[in-house]
A and B are shown apart, each in its own frame.
Chain A
């Protein structure tokens, strides 16, 4: 869409007439296409097909009736064609006695005919009358319609009345006239049926951002901010959700391949293994050092495992992995404790005989371990073993990576689902767990914003 120039090709000529009710000048922009025209001074609905402009109805407009957001006579370009706003009406439904209204703008192009813009609470639809009938399937709940391969779910059905009209209409418009309307949605589109008597009009609307309309009609200021989630408002995330999970599956495969690659290529070289005992009955210096061992290859981790025969006891080992050549030391402490027993709850255990730790990013070189055991005094001799392996893949990182990949995908999916939840909470066919507790809120988004009076093309 874009703003039209001052004299675009095909610009309709204006025909000047006078209202037979009050004598005020009337502007007829759509020529013989108009079926009714409304005098905006005395609010008479006139028969535009009759040269004498017979008065069909006179209605009383509210004093505080606010003007259309897009003034009649405004021209703009929609889908490459120049259109002029020729008519405006307000439609109203009542839910639990509360009126909800939306606005419809009639657009005219002498070559393309009529199309419509609807607006409710800042949500806009670009709508046109269907030229062929959709297929209705009432055997499922909610009912669906199929049109040009698209499947649309019934969102809501209500009785809508025309409460205010202005300008020209390609049908016999009447204030106060009711019709049964149903909306079938497949965002960003909605198919609406409108039954008046025996006549049914089908139309299709496509959600459009207010700023695009403002741009198309070169309107001043900003469009009203949308309130809530509208029936056919496209989710800002739904299109991405499937692509996101496809990407996640790709990353999952990559993660598995990486795990296998690291597991199979890791050195896992055992560099030291020793068996020791610690006599807790003897006081004095217990620290000792191991033989020097070589850590080869690139900078990598060293996984150190301590195993002990502690029984209802503990042993704590102060470790220092010391580089013999550089004097660089890695200090850490590990405890092995194992307790068990039996009480009123049955048998229990706590701890275990083995402990493992990965010392991060140890450069290659000649190392030895300084070991200093501690335990309770006077508990006899505790046996333990120390073994260390070089370059052992850490599965915990794969778990963290999986979590890091899962969380954003999950959050975006949740937000998308929440958007759909908010949409369908306003439907007649809301899921059972939808908490539609804002019924009394006059600002709540309603459906049926894409409903027209009888279309001339039906």
Chain B
């Protein structure tokens, strides 16, 4: 019984893995933005990333 459940679970895990690899899933997070104007290509400064201008770690001991 437990073995059968485990086999089913394992098939789901491997199936999910295959789907993740095929569809290119990633653990990284990105923000999707829709309808970015075409003018950005000519004027890159007109677009501001949501990730811009946060306080950066300046590193070192």
Contact = CB atoms under 8 A, between A and B. Distances in A.
A329 interface: yes
A254 interface: yes
B34 A328 contact: yes
Given A328-B32, A343-B61, A320 B13 contact: no
Contacts of B7: 247
A327 B3 contact: no
Given A255-B14, A299-B23, A350 B52 contact: no
A285 interface: yes
Interface string A257-275: 0100010000000000000
B24 A374 contact: no
A258 B20 CA distance: 12
Interface string A26-69: 00000000000000000000000000000000000000000000
Q: Classify chain B's interface size.
A: 35 or more
A404 B16 CA distance: 11
Contacts of A405: 10, 13
Contacts of B44: 285, 287-289, 370, 372
Contacts of A244: 2-3, 6
A396 interface: yes
Nearest to B17: A401
Interface string B14-52: 101110111111111111111111101100110101111
Interface string A271-289: 0000000000000010111
A302 B21 CA distance: 12
Contact of A316 (B30, B37, B56): B56
Interface residues of A, number: 68
Contact of A357 (B23, B28, B35): B28
A413 to B, nearest CB: 11
A258 B22 CA distance: 11
Contacts of A348: 61
A66 to B, nearest CB: 37
A361 B25 contact: yes
Interface in A346-395: 348, 350-351, 357-362, 368, 370, 372, 374, 376, 391, 393-394
A300 interface: yes
A394 B56 CA distance: 28
A232 interface: no
B3 A251 contact: no
Contacts of B32: 328-331
Would you list the 5 A-B pairs with minimal beta carbon distance, nearest first?
A301-B24, A333-B51, A300-B24, A360-B26, A318-B49
17 contacts: A243-B3, A244-B6, A254-B14, A255-B14, A287-B45, A288-B44, A298-B23, A299-B23, A300-B23, A300-B24, A312-B60, A320-B47, A331-B49, A357-B26, A358-B27, A397-B21, A405-B13
Interface of A: 237, 240, 243-244, 247-248, 251, 254-255, 258, 262, 285, 287-289, 298-302, 312, 314, 316, 318-322, 324, 327-333, 335, 337, 339, 341, 343, 348, 350-351, 357-362, 368, 370, 372, 374, 376, 391, 393-394, 396-398, 400-401, 404-405, 408-409, 412
Interface of B: 1-3, 6-7, 9-10, 13-14, 16-18, 20-38, 40-41, 44-45, 47, 49-54, 56-61
